[in-house]
Amino acid sequence: MSDESAEVVVVEDEEDLAFLLRQNLETQGYRVTTCGTLRAARHALEGARPALLLLDVNLPDGTGFDLLGELRRAQVWTPAIFLTARSAEADRLLGFAVGGDDYVVKPFSMAELLARVAAIVRRSQLTRPPEASFPTFRIDFERYVLHRVGQEPAPLTYLESELLRYLIERPGEAVSRNTLLNEVWGYDRFPTTRTVDTHVLNLRKKLEEDPKQPRHLLTVHGIGYKFVA
């Protein structure tokens, strides 16, 4: 059972699916708000602080990508999972690029989705050190922002922040992609470890002076990644 104070906002225009999502989420103890359009979602999110967003991509008046992009530009870092029939890799990459934390293709297993929701909500509520500082950069884990010396602050998604935190807490340790999926994403079933690679690539663009020759987020061939301060 989840924390009853945790609210999930579902943005889904297919009424039957929205009802099914609400029913299953409420059974797990979440408070649920459902919206069928971007306009309704914008109104619902005014002044609200939900624990998680579940976003359809194709909506009557735009896309879930549009909505999350607006929120991230407004420095709203609520974790978000995309729910969509769009399975192309380009769409997945776009979902992560605009600030999504996970990407689930329809049709999906409700049990697996609920596990992903629980993992993200649980981890977002953990009490952790608010920041980590190094000579050339600082990560604000409360506001999901990376500060580099001489650079504009770079926003992080929730999972980018958690991935970076997990590696920083294990300096120099080679961590496998499967371990990162289990420990950061919080479940042990996922269609591809490319998700980890995509998040590391995005982090390198924000963290490294030269993302093609990283100094901090290093690939350990045949295993995964490690952090070097």
Asked whether the beta carbons of 56 and 34 are under 8 A apart, the reply is: no
**Is residue 2 one of the residues assigned to a domain?**
no
39 and 102 both lie in a single domain: yes
106 and 155 both lie in a single domain: no
139 and 219 both lie in a single domain: yes
100 and 12 both lie in a single domain: yes
Residue 37 structural domain: 7-124
Name the token pair of 147. Answer: 């500060």
Q: How confident is the model at residue 3 (pLDDT cuts 50, 70, 90)?
A: very low
CATH number at residue 146: 1.10.10.10
88 and 158 both lie in a single domain: no
**Is residue 85 one of the residues assigned to a domain?**
yes
**Is residue 175 one of the residues assigned to a domain?**
yes
51 and 99 both lie in a single domain: yes
Report the distance separating Cα 76 and Cα 161, nearest Å: 14
Q: What's the pTM value of the predicted model, to 2 decimals?
A: 0.67
Sign of the four-CA dihedral 62, 41, 14, 9: positive
Q: How confident is the model at residue 126 (pLDDT cuts 50, 70, 90)?
A: low
* N residues, the chain: 229
Q: Read off the pLDDT of residues 90-104 as tens digits, 9 standing for 90 and up.
A: 888 888 888 888 889
39 and 117 both lie in a single domain: yes
3-state secondary structure at position 57? coil
Q: How many domains does the chain have?
A: 2
100 and 147 both lie in a single domain: no
117 and 216 both lie in a single domain: no
CATH number at residue 79: 3.40.50.2300
Report the distance separating Cα 175 and Cα 80, nearest Å: 25
Q: What is the DSSP string of 186-229?
A: --S--S-THHHHHHHHHHHHHH-SSTTS-SSEEEETTTEEEE--
Q: What is the DSSP string of 143-183?
A: TTEEEETTS--EE--HHHHHHHHHHHTSTT--EEHHHHIII
Q: Read off the pLDDT of residues 28-66 as tens digits, 9 standing for 90 and up.
A: 999 999 999 999 999 999 988 899 999 999 999 999 999
Report the distance separating Cα 30 and Cα 81, nearest Å: 16
75 and 93 both lie in a single domain: yes
**Is residue 28 one of the residues assigned to a domain?**
yes
Q: How confident is the model at residue 142 (pLDDT cuts 50, 70, 90)?
A: confident
Q: Read off the pLDDT of residues 145-178 as tens digits, 9 standing for 90 and up.
A: 899 988 888 988 888 888 999 999 999 999 999 8
